[in-house]
Amino acid sequence: MDIKSKLPKSETTIFSVMTALAAEHQAINLGQGFPDYDCNEDLKKLINKYLVEGRNQYCPMPGLLALRESIAEKIYKSYEVDINPKDEITVTAGATQALFTAISAFIHSGDEVIIFEPAYDSYYPSILLAGGIPKPNRLYAPDFKIDWNELKDMITDKTKMIIINSPHNPTGTSLEEQDLLNLQEIVKDKNIIVLSDEVYEHLIYDENQHQSVLKFPQLFQQCIAVYSFGKTFHSTGWKIGYAVGPDHLMKEFRNVHQWNVFSVNSFIQYALADYLKNSENYEYLPNFFQSKRDLLLSELENSPLKSTPASGTYFQVFDYSKISDLPDFEFAKYLTTEIGVAAIPISPFYSIEIKEQNIRLCFAKKESTLLNATKNLRKLRK
Ligand SMILES: Cc1ncc(COP(=O)(O)O)c(C=O)c1O
């Protein structure tokens, strides 16, 4: 059979590759972004309750209204913004699906989409599948800041979308208020949608506030923002999240959502509708993860791995150029097979070849895991 691939250059994601290598070599996995501890017992009990109670049939296409109402309440508590749960929120099968759906809904053949690289790896292929043209803007270590003048110069009359991600995977950086104001000014009166990946919204440190696009009323009119319960509630395997946008965009988002997912699993939606009502269930997250970040950094303080503390996410980037000349993928393999700690190289987050020598470690791990991993990493010598 003659099959013409739509993604002929696509390879297995770096996360699967490094996780498999970690398992093969029994390395401590600080590679892929998932916790090695379980999610909350009360949440599991709620899920069990609704499953046993028989909440097992289709939910409405945009998501259970009670859950959308709880999400709107959570948004108000977090950002003091009123979002209409009926028309402006859609529950999705994780953030990846929400991103894919948004790109499919708004990108037509030949449209240009600006992404900032390093970029989460699903953006590029999703744009290609929609017939769009990815236009990467490169960010540079160590601060990975966006140059807004450079972005302005990249915009053409074919630019239909800009994808931002804050807090940012893989760099652990986050956008500030002025960044969002710059973006708002740049897209004002243009036919450009901002797709804002905010899956790490609650993972923000050192007393900083997450700058959500939802907080900028004018910008919001051109935005779809995407969230993940997997990231917020330590349950990446559930694949449930949501998208938020003004009704005129959400209408079109749902137009595609109903033909690729229709509705998301029912009993977890019922459980989350209850669980979200208590803001303590997410307000503890900055402190919880900041102490893990600080443990990782303090245990490696005297090692030759150099870092700027992550301001968000559960990822910390380390520069290993003092230790090795290896390219980052080779170095990540060496760490996994010889040092016993799996890491993620940064180069797969770029569509171009890069020479910088950085790896990413995930600190969403038990204290004992972080201590064991850092003990191994301290064996690295200049
Ligand atoms: C920046 C970013 N966006 C989206 C996702 C995907 O989220 P989900 O598992 O809810 O699809 C991830 C997961 O690692 C991520 O890091």
Q: What structural domains and CATH numbers belong to the chain?
A: 14-39+283-377 (3.90.1150.10), 41-279 (3.40.640.10)
C-beta 92 within 6 A of ligand 1: no
Tell me: the pLDDT tens digits for 12-33? 888 888 999 999 999 999 998 8
- Element at 197 (helix H, strand E): strand 193-197
Q: Helix, strand, or coil here: 234? A: coil
State which of 34, 99, 121, 169 you would mutate to test the pocket of ligand 1, scoring each by most atoms of that ligand within 8 A of its C-beta: 169
291: pLDDT confidence band, cut at 50, 70 and 90? very high
State which of 228, 314, 349, 360 you would mutate to test the pocket of ligand 1, scoring each by most atoms of that ligand within 8 A of its C-beta: 228
Protein residue with least CA distance to atom 7, ligand 1? 95
CA 33–ligand 1 middle distance (angstroms): 9
Task: Please report the pLDDT score of residue 207 as a whole number.
Answer: 93
Q: Which atom of ligand 1 is nearest to the CA of 98?
A: 11
C-beta 230 within 6 A of ligand 1: yes
Task: Please report the pLDDT score of residue 98 as a whole number.
Answer: 98
- Does the pLDDT value for residue 89 go beyond 80? yes
**Is-cis flag, bond preceding 142, omega within 30?**
yes
Of residues 48, 110, 28, 23, the one with CA closest to residue 275: 48
Those residues whose C-beta lies under 8 Å from the C-beta of residue 204, and which sit 6 or more positions away, are: 167, 174, 210, 286, 311, 312
Q: Which atom of ligand 1 is nearest to the CA of 230?
A: 10
C-beta 96 within 6 A of ligand 1: yes
Task: Please report the pLDDT score of residue 123 as a whole number.
Answer: 97
Which residue type is seen at 130?
A: A
361: pLDDT confidence band, cut at 50, 70 and 90? very high
Mean pLDDT across the stretch 363-376?
Answer: 97
C-beta 120 within 6 A of ligand 1: yes
Task: Please report the pLDDT score of residue 126 as a whole number.
Answer: 97
- Does the pLDDT value for residue 284 go beyond 80? yes
C-beta 121 within 6 A of ligand 1: no
Tell me: the pLDDT tens digits for 140-182? 999 999 999 999 999 999 999 999 999 999 999 999 999 999 9
> 316 — phi, psi (to 5°)?
-125, 130
CA 197–ligand 1 middle distance (angstroms): 8
11: pLDDT confidence band, cut at 50, 70 and 90? confident
Percent of the chain with pLDDT over 90: 95
Tell me: the pLDDT tens digits for 92-107? 999 999 999 999 999 9
* Six-digit token string for 19: 């996780």
Task: Please report the pLDDT score of residue 198 as a whole number.
Answer: 98
State which of 120, 164, 173, 289 you would mutate to test the pocket of ligand 1, scoring each by most atoms of that ligand within 8 A of its C-beta: 120
In this structure, the number of other CB atoms found within 10 A of the CB of residue 367 comes to 11
What is this structure's pTM?
Answer: 0.97
CA 233–ligand 1 middle distance (angstroms): 13
C-beta 197 within 6 A of ligand 1: yes
C-beta 101 within 6 A of ligand 1: no
DSSP conformation letters of 325-366: -S-HHHHHHHIIIIISEE-EESGGG-SS-----EEEEE--S-
